[in-house]
């Protein structure tokens, strides 16, 4: 089953027809290496979107971007017929060529498609986006009184997105820690209510405390959350 780069981009953008989406998903399920590459790239795209500043999308930007992509695809020269020797080598070259992402849209079309992805990214909370990623597994976060205070989404690439249901007090911030040998090690202040942990292996213990703006070198309050992944 031949899958090209524009198929994967269209899957990420959600622009495939139901039939084509089923075809691409079937190829991903049959090829663990392709699935891992797609999941890793998709995670990077979602993480990058969280750090982009808000901006007003110019009117008609989506139509202009898609017109540019369509024009480039139509202008691409048709492939030359293969010689018998080239035909024998084609499967091997196609497999290695997939790693180079040289198929499909090309550099200009890829840039336009990614720009469209970011320009039109929905303002939905990041928890929803991460939970919808292929292979994502959600796990509830429970406080000291055993009530649920948030969720953590484990991703296939080994990262995890932690989200707390309630915002911190107006004059305080949440700070995330990992527990190593009984000692808390800061993973930084949580920007708002969620934070992506790049390295989140099984068995990692995370903790969240409420700290002054800017965070602290060590927790200054009793953690509201201590949980092992």
Is residue 50 domain-shared with residue 102, that is, in the same domain? yes
Is residue 169 domain-shared with residue 199, that is, in the same domain? yes
User: What's the confidence (pLDDT) of residue 217?
Assistant: 92
Is residue 190 domain-shared with residue 93, that is, in the same domain? no
Report how far residue 20's alpha carbon sits from residue 69's, in angstroms, rounded to the nearest whole number. 18
Is residue 34 domain-shared with residue 115, that is, in the same domain? yes
Report how far residue 125's alpha carbon sits from residue 50's, in angstroms, rounded to the nearest whole number. 10
User: What's the confidence (pLDDT) of residue 24?
Assistant: 85
Is residue 19 domain-shared with residue 111, that is, in the same domain? yes
Is residue 144 domain-shared with residue 118, that is, in the same domain? no
Is residue 169 domain-shared with residue 112, that is, in the same domain? no
Q: Which of 77, 105, 79, 76 is nearest to 10 (CA)?
A: 105
Domain, as residue range, for 20 = 5-123
Is residue 82 domain-shared with residue 30, that is, in the same domain? yes
Is residue 157 domain-shared with residue 96, that is, in the same domain? no
Model confidence pLDDT, tens digit, residues 136-186 = 999 999 988 889 999 999 998 889 999 999 999 889 999 999 998 889 999
Give me the number of domains the chain comprises. Answer: 2
Is residue 94 domain-shared with residue 23, that is, in the same domain? yes
Domain boundary among 123, 150, 183: 123
- Residue 181 gets the label, from left (phi > 0), alpha (psi -120 to 50) or beta, of left
Model confidence pLDDT, tens digit, residues 171-185 = 999 999 999 888 999
CATH number at 157 reads: 2.60.40
The mean of the pLDDT values for the chain is 75
Domain boundary among 77, 98, 123: 123
Model confidence pLDDT, tens digit, residues 95-133 = 444 444 433 444 445 555 555 554 444 445 678 888 888
Report how far residue 192's alpha carbon sits from residue 173's, in angstroms, rounded to the nearest whole number. 8
């Amino acid at each position: 089953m031949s899958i090209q780069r524009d198929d994967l981009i269209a899957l990420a953008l959600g622009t495939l027809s139901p039939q084509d989406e089923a075809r691409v998903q079937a190829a991903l399920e049959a090829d663990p290496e392709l699935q891992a590459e797609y999941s890793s790239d998709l995670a990077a795209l979602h993480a990058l979107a969280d750090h982009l500043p808000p901006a007003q999308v110019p009117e008609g930007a989506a139509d202009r971007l898609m017109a540019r992509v369509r024009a480039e695809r139509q202008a691409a020269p048709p492939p030359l017929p293969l010689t018998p020797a080239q035909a024998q080598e084609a499967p091997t070259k196609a497999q290695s060529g997939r790693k180079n992402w040289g198929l499909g849209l090309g550099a200009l079309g890829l840039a336009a498609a990614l720009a469209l992805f970011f320009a039109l990214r929905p303002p939905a909370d990041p928890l929803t986006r991460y939970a919808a990623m292929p292979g994502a597994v959600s796990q509830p976060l429970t406080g000291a009184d055993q009530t649920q205070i948030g969720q953590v989404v484990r991703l296939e690439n080994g990262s995890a997105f932690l989200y707390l249901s309630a915002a911190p007090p107006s004059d305080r911030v949440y700070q995330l820690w990992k527990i190593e040998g009984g000692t808390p090690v800061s993973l930084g202040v949580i920007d708002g209510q969620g934070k992506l942990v790049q390295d989140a292996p099984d068995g990692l213990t995370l903790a969240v405390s409420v700290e002054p703006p800017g965070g602290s070198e060590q927790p200054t309050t009793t953690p509201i959350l201590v949980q092992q992944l």
